[in-house]
Structure 1
């Protein structure tokens, strides 16, 4: 590994202290004493967004010029692009990282900007309630009838991609986060599946709040047949992953025919023969 200055190492250790003290409850990081130029962060998708209850992993690299240059951040996409600012190749577009347009105060400021600001910005500015408007040139559509309709459709698609990402993370949890992933999804499985069921019945994606689904106006409901069919298929896959890792009371979310077959399969062979 390339040798770094003492001031570089000291600054990163100061960042560790800030993270330990001020990280929100929905963001976790792991640092490596043998490789202080690296850290791994996981962000829990916030309530009210199409990313709710998901786990989103990011690797952070502190280059030799840090903090005069921003850290480099890589997103664990699993090959899925579920946000305009998060590419399937892992690129993260954010003004604070100097990878996205922005005014001077939004970009990385040596001696002022911190890695805490980076992870909080990813959660608040990227994994937000209406990611459609993060697309270049779409912000001006916010508030318009057409723009809001497109935003709802985008959230439908994004939630399906978030479900796919959950399956990917469960099957291939990042190193040193294996137990964290299992614990998180075992505790959140029921809420995720309750919300998914509500969305398939027409509730607006993102209306999950404090473990329940709020009622929304009929005009705000997601009624796309394609959305419901696609979501049902991925939820079925997710339920099976939840059951595999030990999440409780998930079988009831399987389609009736699947549940019946499972019960028959558990009976003694003689009992299934007419």
Structure 2
């Protein structure tokens, strides 16, 4: 089957359509930064009914058996008012005169794959203004990021047909950043928070140490804590699970040619016996 492709939204959504079956479309979107979905690849298939555009397309999500969002079911169902799979009002519903497939894709990326998907669950938005709800939302993000990492592994090992090069290229480019984020979260930082650039962090550390020396104040262990939002309290299972996912991602990113030298060197150093 021959495919043609196009991309939207500053190269964050890619689409392929069949030249032989114009009623079929496959799309992949990159998870937005600042969310537990960042840098992940999420695949969707769409079929346009004979009544299109009077009726919305049917959309299927490649879940890999994971439910990482209240709107994206493990069975592949996409729950969205625009698709008629959830109740909606006014402009939330499909309009044959104005609604498009691009609108569907952007809605999924912007409204479904958001910063705090826990509140996507019907009725849960009422908990957004209290501490308990916010705490639960952060816990949900921790689980979601782990599922997102597993989805990355699923895509790396079984890339959807005709998207093999895109998958390999994406993770070759973003592998280092994903691994850095994994380590950052394991250190106690909030999932989705900005990971300091290594070069900027080194410069800040050198500057802080220099200021400490000139003022006669010696930084503890010659280091300062540069982690924004550090101190997130989590169960031990989060770090344990992330350590396993980190090792699997490191191996797969190596195969794809990502820049993993720093992480491989750290792993080698840890494996060496301590000097007597």
The TM-score bracket by the shorter chain reads: 0.7 to 0.9
Distance 1:20 1:183 in 2: 16
Question: Residue 56 of structure 1: CA displacement?
Answer: 0.2
Change (3 A) 1:211 1:192: farther
The whole-number CA distance in structure 2 between the counterparts of 1:124 and 1:22 is 13
Query: Mean Cα displacement is larger for which, 225-234 or 164-173?
Result: 225-234
Q: Within 5 A, what are the aligned runs for 1:1-274?
A: 23-208=9-194, 215-218=227-230, 221-250=232-261, 252=263, 256=267, 260=271
Alpha carbons 2:27, 2:44 under 8 Å: kept: yes
Ranges in structure 2 where 5+ consecutive residues have no aligned partner: 202-225
- Name the CA distance, whole Å, in 2 between partners of 1:110 and 1:189: 41
Aligned pairs, number: 243
Q: Distance in 2 between matches of 1:116 and 1:188?
A: 25
RMSD: 2.4
Q: In 2, distance between residues paired with 1:210 and 1:254?
A: 20
- 1:83–1:200 Cα change, 3 Å: same
> CA separation in 1, counterparts of 2:195 and 2:249?
21
Unaligned runs of 5+ in 1: 1-15, 262-274
**What TM-score results when the alignment is normalised by the length of structure 1?**
0.82
